């Protein structure tokens, strides 16, 4: 439930505010990404994807704490959702 609230908050912050707040919540999101519950992991992915879409390639350095599999999952979803929303993947937008 907290991750859902965070996801909603992410969409309301400016890019500058979001970047300033990343250190306060990213470690907890990364921890939740390893949760046994697939629903929690899925919610984390969508939260990270929303952040990625908002910040673009500037968010990539913050994702160093993820495994290669987790990173690939986030980038695939981010590009799919970005393409569905704007017609272009993140790589082309940034």
| Percent over 70 (pLDDT), the chain | 93
Model confidence at 91: pLDDT above 70: no
Residue 56 near residue 64, CB atoms below 8 Å? no
Q: Which of the pair, 49 or 91, is modelled with greater confidence?
A: 49
Q: How far apart are CA 94 and CA 88, in angstroms?
A: 10
For 1-38, write each residue's pLDDT tens digit.
788 888 888 889 999 999 999 999 999 999 999 999 99
Rounded average pLDDT over 66-70:
94
Output the pLDDT for position 93: 43
């Amino acid at each position: 439930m907290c991750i859902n609230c965070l996801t909603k908050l992410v969409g309301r912050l400016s890019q500058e505010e979001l970047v300033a707040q990343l250190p306060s919540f990213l470690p907890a999101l990364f921890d939740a990404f390893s949760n046994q519950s697939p629903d929690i992991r899925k919610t984390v992915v969508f939260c990270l994807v929303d952040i990625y879409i908002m910040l673009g390639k500037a968010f990539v350095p913050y994702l160093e704490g993820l495994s290669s599999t987790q990173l690939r999952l986030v980038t695939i979803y981010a590009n799919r959702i970005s393409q569905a929303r704007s017609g272009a993947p993140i790589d082309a937008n940034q």
